[in-house]
């Protein structure tokens, strides 16, 4: 069923982009109407001597067969998956530099020794603003930003569509979910003194062709020859990191949270191999991205939308009811540089269930005992030792590392004891 959904979403996405044979499909629709008319009006007194009817019907079936072969070549070109591999050109991410505004607002680039080439940027000053004033930031829907993203995808369709095809085939081979859901995207930067941010509606495949493809190269598995480089406009020519308002990446908003249970345990999971991101890595309690349904109306604050989307992810991944979530507080913001500077929000949640009663979603999480972590947070020193061990663990995902970093900064601000009493 999931594979059928992947296939359907892929075909619909192809139809709205320039690589798809729209004219061919339109011809088939018109010809189908004509064939139906033939059947209705001539079935009773059809004259076999009217050879042009038969000729037209034969041509009609030829058109369908031809169209099917084109679709099959787009969707089932398995040599792309078997003979080639999309890797990352990590030289693109070397020596990244910050703009004057980014430096003035305390942004820094972070690299963890156990996650080579996985870079993030964050600002303690922006995070402090989020912790104290986030409820004041309203949203402004700006679909003009999406037009810029869509134009970039159309202009680079010939090379970038191969990457999408590769990802679809990869999802089929590994039985992974790869659907094109509507996503809420961030169109402007989160500045300390701003009261508004631009958002717009895009799709997951738009992010695959921009954020995910950033820095990717198509190489022959046997010879190692690189045939295609996908250069995404997420960085400047002198290795600067473009602000969200200038980037041509789709930048759908990521959310994640570290959940504390009733018995004072922090829950972490190891993702299984079926997930599209962070496969076989240790992740926060819940992580995902904002769906269109997470926004109720255009007069909401960004905080309300982030919390609603985070709670939905927490409900799904912990398999609990929303009323079991006591609260979720957004405590930080960061950008995932390997994914084109994709925006990510980090939160802390409290739930009124003991850790032993929570069974994570089997479709995403490994169920082995050593793949599920219940970290006691009642002892500050012991907790910091556990965190440092996770920071050194090569299986820790970048979202987990950034969430832990932001979490430690937050409890230093509010006080560990005060945090436990919240």
The conformation of residue 301, written as its DSSP 8-state character, comes to B
How much is the pTM?
0.86
Residue with tokens 């829907």: 141
Cα–Cα distance between 138 and 346 in angstroms, integer? 18
Q: How far is CA 256 from CA 179, 268, 313, 405, in A?
A: 20, 11, 8, 13
In this structure, are residues 127 and 406 in contact, taking their beta carbons and an 8 Å threshold? yes
Segment (H or E) for 203: strand 196-203
* β-sheet bridge partners, residue 104: none
- In angstroms, the CA 249 to CA 233 distance is 7
CA–CA separation, 39 vs 177, rounded Å? Answer: 42
* Collapsed DSSP state (helix, strand, coil) of residue 133: helix
Shortest CA distance to 265 belongs to which of 149, 377, 390? Answer: 377
CB 224 within 8 A of CB 102: no
65 or 112: which carries more pLDDT confidence? 112
Contacts of 158 by beta carbon, 8 Å cutoff, 6+ apart? 19
pLDDT of residue 248: 93
* Unique residue bearing structure tokens 């964050």: 122
Token output for 92: 């693109």
* More reliable by pLDDT, 104 or 59: 104
Residue 139: pLDDT band with limits 50, 70, 90? very high
Report percent pLDDT > 70 for the chain.
Answer: 77
Q: So what's the pLDDT on residue 162?
A: 80
What pLDDT sits at residue 73? Answer: 58
Asked if pLDDT for residue 44 goes beyond 60, the answer is: no
Report the pLDDT value the prediction gives residue 176, as an integer from 0 to 100: 78
Beta bridge partners, 217, equal: 87, 229
Averaged pLDDT for residues 102-112: 92
Q: Are strands 119-123 and 282-283 parallel, antiparallel or unpaired?
A: unpaired
Q: Is beta strand 254-260 parallel, antiparallel or unpaired with respect to 286-289?
A: antiparallel
Asked whether the predicted pLDDT for residue 49 surpasses 60, the reply is: no
**Residue, of 172 and 195, whose pLDDT is higher:** 195
pLDDT tens digits, one per residue of 87-99: 777 777 778 888 8
Residue 48, judged by CB atoms within 10 A of its CB (0-12, 13-18, 19+), counts as exposed
Q: Give the mean pLDDT of 286-313.
A: 95
Is pLDDT above 80 for 271? yes
Separation of alpha carbons 216 and 87, rounded Å: 5
Return the beta strands (E) in 223-378 as ranges. 226-229, 254-260, 265-270, 282-283, 286-289, 325-336, 342-351, 372-376
Question: In this structure, are residues 350 and 324 in contact, taking their beta carbons and an 8 Å threshold?
Answer: no
Phi, psi of 365 (to 5 degrees): -115, 140
Asked whether the beta carbons of 134 and 127 are under 8 A apart, the reply is no
Instruction: Identify the burial level of 422 via C-beta atoms within 10 angstroms of its C-beta, where 0-12 means exposed, 13-18 middle and 19 or more buried.
Output: exposed
3-state SS assignment for residue 346 = strand
Query: Phi and psi (nearest 5°) for 217?
Result: -130, 140
What integer pLDDT is reported at residue 54 of this predicted model? Answer: 63
Closest CA to 95 of 235, 220, 288, 239: 239
pLDDT at 23: 58
User: How much is the mean pLDDT over the chain?
Assistant: 83
What is residue 84's predicted lDDT score, i.e. its pLDDT? 58
pLDDT surpasses 60 at 75: no
HSE (side-chain half, CA atoms, 13 Å) at 6: 21
Beta-bridge partners for 258? 348
pLDDT at 69: 66
Question: By three-state DSSP, how is residue 96 classified?
Answer: coil
Phi, psi of 71 (to 5 degrees): -65, -40
Within 13 Å and on the Cβ side, how many CA atoms surround 25? 11
What is the per-residue pLDDT for 204? 96
- 221 has a pLDDT exceeding 80: no
Residue range 326-340: average pLDDT? 94
Of the listed ranges 90-104, 307-321, 349-363, the one predicted with least confidence: 90-104
Q: Could you give the CA distance from residue 288 to residue 278 in angstroms, rounded to a whole number?
A: 11
């Amino acid at each position: 069923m999931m594979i059928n959904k992947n296939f359907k979403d892929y075909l619909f996405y192809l139809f709205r982009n320039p690589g798809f044979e729209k004219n061919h499909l339109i011809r088939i629709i018109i010809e189908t109407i004509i064939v139906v008319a033939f059947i209705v009006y001539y079935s009773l007194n059809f004259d076999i001597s009217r050879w042009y009817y038969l000729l037209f019907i034969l041509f009609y079936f030829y058109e369908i067969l031809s169209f099917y072969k084109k679709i099959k070549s787009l969707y089932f070109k398995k040599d792309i998956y078997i003979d080639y591999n999309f890797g990352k050109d990590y030289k693109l991410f070397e020596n990244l530099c910050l703009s004057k505004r980014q430096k003035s607002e305390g942004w820094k680039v972070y690299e963890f020794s156990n996650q080579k080439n996985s870079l993030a940027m964050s600002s303690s000053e922006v995070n402090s603003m989020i912790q104290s004033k986030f409820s004041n930031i309203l949203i402004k829907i700006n679909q003009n930003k999406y037009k810029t993203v869509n134009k970039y995808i159309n202009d680079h369709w010939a090379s970038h569509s191969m990457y999408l095809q590769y990802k679809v085939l990869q999802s089929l081979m590994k039985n992974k979910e790869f659907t094109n859901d509507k996503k809420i995207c961030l169109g402007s930067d989160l500045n300390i003194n701003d009261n508004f941010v631009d958002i717009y509606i895009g799709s997951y495949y738009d992010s695959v062709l921009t954020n995910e493809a950033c820095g990717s190269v198509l190489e022959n598995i046997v010879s190692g020859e690189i045939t295609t480089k996908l250069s995404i406009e997420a960085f400047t020519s002198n290795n600067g990191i473009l602000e969200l308002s200038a980037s041509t990446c789709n930048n759908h908003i990521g959310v994640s949270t570290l959940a504390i249970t009733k018995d004072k345990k922090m829950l972490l999971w190891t993702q299984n191999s079926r997930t599209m991101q962070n496969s076989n890595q240790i992740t926060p309690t819940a992580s995902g991205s904002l769906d269109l349904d997470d926004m109720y109306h255009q007069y909401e604050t960004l905080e309300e939308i982030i919390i609603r989307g985070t709670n939905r992810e927490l409900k799904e991944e912990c398999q609990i009811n929303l009323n079991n979530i006591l609260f979720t507080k957004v405590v930080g913001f960061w950008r995932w540089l390997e994914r084109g500077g994709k925006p990510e929000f980090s939160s802390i949640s409290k739930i009124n269930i003991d850790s032993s009663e929570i069974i994570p979603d089997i479709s995403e999480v490994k169920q082995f005992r050593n793949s599920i972590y219940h970290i006691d947070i009642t002892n500050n020193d012991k907790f910091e030792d556990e965190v440092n061990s996770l920071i050194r663990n090569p299986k820790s995902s970048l979202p987990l590392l950034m969430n832990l970093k932001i979490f430690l900064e937050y409890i230093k601000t509010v006080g560990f004891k005060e945090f436990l009493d919240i």
